[in-house]
Amino acid sequence: MRAISPLFAAILGGVVSGLAVAALFVFSDTGDTTARPTPTAETPSREAEPVEARPMSVGEIFSRARASVFTVEGREPGLDEWPDGPPRLDDGVATGTGFAIAGGRVVTNQRVVAGADLVTVRLGGRRVRARVVRSDASSDLAILRVAPRRARTLRPLPLGDSARVRPGDTAVAIGNPYGLTRSVTSGVVSSARRRIEAPDGSRIANAIQTDAAINPGNSGGPLLDEDGRVIGVMAQGRGDGIAFAVPVNRLKRVAP
């Protein structure tokens, strides 16, 4: 067998080494020059920004709450019939607004039912007899109950926290001014720390002032925030964009 010369051996070794290095580049990532895919809509490069909840419009608030708001009437003793036509100051019937809360109950102002021998809530266009189960003249709040089969159909409104109410917050009122059923007005909270006079002469603290339009017949209706939660019970309107509501936290103490 012929011996290989040292020069030829060196050349052959170099060729083999070159081939090994080339193979290493081919089968490893070190020499990979292929373009990598860029992120697309299907493969985002970063997490999506969180989307903040959008406050409801006045129309949306009204749409959700309207079925929970009713006309409440308190008829004076001695009347055998209900008067016809729109409410009048001399017809012997106090007309206001009420709204449903949990437990099949209806909230209204105490002044609407005070002294009445017959109290009704209009459900589905019909007068349904209601029983006054709590009447508190010091807060101008009254709690009514209707027959259990009627109570099961009531849709309670969620209650908010009047301690969190601040001037400038959205305020939406639903009521029956002058017998115009389920009318909606809106504005802002003008103040959350007013004191108003109750029917018995005592003071109601932390009453909510609003510039939402309030007229006779709105008494007892809900004042709602931008999330559709009750923050107050409408009690007094003084015209010129000044009205007051009993804070809902007072209602929470009276209702149980």
pLDDT in tens, 51-84: 567 789 999 999 999 999 999 999 999 888 888 7
Indicate whether 124 pLDDT > 90: no
CA distance 174 to 107: 13
Residue 22 lies in a domain: no
Of residues 75 and 124, the one with the higher pLDDT is 75
- Looking at 5-19, 145-159, 209-223, 242-256, which range is the least confident one? 5-19
Kindly report the CATH number assigned to the domain that includes residue 164.
2.40.10.120
Two structure tokens written together for 118: 């017959």
Q: What is the pTM of this model?
A: 0.78
Residue 72 lies in a domain: yes
CA distance 71 to 123: 8
Residue 15 lies in a domain: no
Q: Note the pLDDT of residue 256.
A: 80
**How many domains, the chain?**
1
Residue 86 lies in a domain: yes
Residues 111-129, mean pLDDT to the nearest whole number = 93
Largest CA distance in the chain: 140
Residue 194 lies in a domain: yes
- Whether residue 235 contacts residue 175, with contact meaning beta carbons closer than 8 Å, is answered with no
Query: Domain span at residue 72?
Result: 58-254
Indicate whether 20 pLDDT > 70: no
Residue 46 lies in a domain: no
Indicate whether 49 pLDDT > 90: no
Query: CB pairs under 8 A, 24+ apart, for 3-12?
Result: none
Residue 26 lies in a domain: no
CA distance 66 to 112: 20
Indicate whether 121 pLDDT > 50: yes
